[in-house]
Amino acid sequence: MVTVYRMDYVRKTKYPIGVVLERRETERRHNYQDMLRLARRLFALDPADFANIVIDVSQVRRTFPEQHRGARPGLRETV
């Protein structure tokens, strides 16, 4: 679960307003951007409110570099 906040830039505080559940089983390249886009779509009151919706970066699953799909771990390719 990733906590969604509404940011008050004047007072420099953020208020928790909900959560977004990460249900992906595989890693993707843009996890943070995708979760933020979903949170803004669900919790923003209007398009002007999109900038006030933020998520906690520490709760988003980190992405790892894509591995070569053909190679199996522990095996070396011989020529």
Asked if residue 32 belongs to a domain, the reply is: yes
Which two tokens mark 36? 């933020």
Residue pair 21/77 in contact by the 8 Å Cβ criterion: no
Asked if residue 40 belongs to a domain, the reply is: yes
- For 43, the 3-state DSSP assignment is helix
State how many domains the chain has. 1
Asked if residue 79 belongs to a domain, the reply is: no
Per-residue model confidence as pLDDT tens digits over 16-59: 999 988 787 776 778 888 889 999 999 999 999 999 999 987 76
Q: What is the pTM of this model?
A: 0.66
Asked if residue 76 belongs to a domain, the reply is: no
Mean pLDDT for all residues in the chain: 78
What is the chain's percent helix, strand, coil content, to nearest 5?
Answer: 30, 25, 50
Asked if residue 71 belongs to a domain, the reply is: no
pLDDT score of 62 = 56
Asked if residue 31 belongs to a domain, the reply is: yes
Per-residue model confidence as pLDDT tens digits over 47-66: 999 999 999 877 666 544 44
Asked if residue 21 belongs to a domain, the reply is: yes
Q: Which domain holds residue 15?
A: 2-59
Asked if residue 49 belongs to a domain, the reply is: yes
